[in-house]
Amino acid sequence: MDLMRPFTMGTSYFGNRMVQHVKKDLETLKKEGYTDILHTVSENDLKFYRGTMKEIIEASKKEGFTVTVSPWSIGLVFGGEAFSEFHILHPEACQVTQHGKQLPQACFNHPEFRKFMKDWVDAVKKMGADAILWDEPHWAGNGGWYSIKDDEWTCRCKTCQGIFEEKSGRQMPGEWSTDVEEFRKDSMIDFLKEMTDYAKGKDFTNIICFFPNRRKFEVPSEWEEAACLEGVDVFATDPYWVGANYEVEKFISFYVEQAIRIAEANNLKVQLYIQNFRIEEGKEHQVETAVRVGWEKGIRHFYTWGFNSCGHMSFLASDRPEKAFENYHGTLRKLKSKKG
């Protein structure tokens, strides 16, 4: 997002790589008052659509949008519905459970994965993007598509064992402990520091977003530590309520308040992602509620996930996508015109 704008209204956009159709959608979004768009850039895009993504991003900027990109499902350790071949190309750089089982998820500590991500940053720079959403980075087992057993944890790969030993002077334990927990958190922060510093060196705006716990209200310490990183500009939260243990208003309120607190303490902008996928028929009003709660708490930088309530993608589609999507921008426009 453009850090100078007092108000932003954005949407993610994915699943269409036909530039002529993208252009039509961009015109529609412009008319609806959108200021920002997020284009996902997956491993598939890196491999087959580099030039097309550049065209799509250029077309977006030509319409006046600020363009964010996200590393969609890259290495299977970021948010997104996409396949990954990183584990085929670099099996040595993937996470390993305490029992030595190799997983398809990339290891945040492995230099090969960090290099891969820097190459991705270089690629999205060439495509012309303005901002990067470091979206929902997570270790295996914390969400994602390839779950592990409840009693399994990562990462005890050779690289992680080596770093643990170097830092603590003893072998990495084979059992879960607070030391292991701390090590994983430190590793995540170290990874994000290296990535956001690198992206900052290329003039990107860095946005950090961790997926909120939907079972219990919890703010892991890595949220605050990530917000302290020098390269980070925006702290975002995406409290997607469908399937959460709490009703919409309460759920949004809690995570928005936490995000605002963390952002303010670190002089960062704060951004809220509103759910626009898997909204059931008759529950579209929840989108409006989420927007209102965010607005009343003081949020002025909004995004929604995603375009037309993901009606084009059966896995994510809302039952009545047009209505759910309209409830996002329609509500925001009303709030903005009332209160300025």
316 binds Zn ion (CB under 5 A): no
Tell me if 155 contacts Zn ion by CB under 5 A. yes
In terms of CB distance, is 65 or 164 closer to Zn ion? 164
Q: Given the rule CB under 5 A, which of 101-109, 200-208, 213-221, 286-294 is the region that contacts Zn ion?
A: 101-109
Among the listed residues 9, 133, 148, 160, the single contact to Zn ion using CB under 5 A: 160
Residue 209 pairs with which residues in a beta bridge? 135, 236
Alpha carbons 338 and 25: distance in angstroms, whole number: 27
Cβ at position 222, least distance to Zn ion in Å? 16
DSSP assignment of 55-69: HHHHHHHHTT-EEEE
Among the listed ranges 10-18, 109-117, 281-289, 306-314, the one in contact with Zn ion (CB under 5 A) is: 109-117
Of 183 and 307, which has the nearer Cβ to Zn ion?
Answer: 183
Amino acid identity of residue 150, one-letter, is D
Q: Are strands 8-13 and 36-40 parallel, antiparallel or unpaired?
A: parallel
Cβ pair 256, 217 in contact under 8 A:
no
**Of 99, 21, 265, 91, residue with least CA distance to 13:** 21
Asked whether position 157 contacts Zn ion by CB under 5 A, the answer is: yes
Least gap, CB of 40 to Zn ion (angstroms): 25
Give the shortest CB-96-to-Zn ion separation in angstroms: 6
Using H for helix, E for strand and C for coil, what is the string for 226-266? Answer: HHCCCCCCEEEECCCCCCCCCCHHHHHHHHHHHHHHHHHHC
Q: Shortest gap between Cβ of 95 and Zn ion (angstroms)?
A: 6
In the bound complex, what is the minimum distance in angstroms from residue 185's beta carbon to Zn ion?
14
The residue ranges that bind Zn ion (CB under 5 A) are 107, 109, 155, 157, 160
